[in-house]
Amino acid sequence: MKKAFFVKHRTVSAVKRVEFVSDGMSFIVLRGCLHNIILLNVRAPNEEKCNYSQDRFYEEMGQAFDHFPKNHMKILLRDFNAKLGRDDIFKPTNENDSLHQDSNNNGVRILNCATSKKSIY
């Protein structure tokens, strides 16, 4: 199932590019004042899916990130089916401000992906 972007009429002129990477991933590039803004729209596999489909998704997302220029602002949208718990290891990123007590695999993977791409400091 392809994802769509709805853009207000006054914002259409800022759209530089729209691309559908896969069924679960698409992005739109908007012209910003100082830097372009990339909105990456994703639907991560559920925890019940096999590790192969999860591995393929995160590899695809990492490749998409590597494809984007470093100076562009990147915003991740939609559903990662992720939970980050209140474990001490996550304090540098979520400072115990989590709704969840426990983490799941998708939560750890998206955090690892974001920190490896220097998207979270």
- The per-residue pLDDT for 25 is 86
Q: Where are the domains of the chain?
A: 9-116
- The per-residue pLDDT for 121 is 43
82-117 residue pLDDT tens:
777 666 666 666 666 666 667 777 777 777 777 776
Is 108 exposed, middle or buried (CB count within 10 Å of its CB: 0-12, 13-18, 19+)?
middle
pLDDT at 15 over 90: yes
Q: What letter represents residue 23's amino acid?
A: D
48-91 residue pLDDT tens:
766 777 788 888 888 888 888 888 988 888 767 777 766 666 66
State the Cα angle at 49 between 45 and 52, rounded to 5°: 90
Starting at the edge strand that comes first in sequence, how are the strands of the sheet with 73-79 ordered? Answer: 15-22, 25-30, 37-43, 73-79
Stretch among 21-25, 30-34, 107-111 having the lowest mean pLDDT: 107-111
According to the CATH classification, is domain 9-116 in 3.30.56.10? no
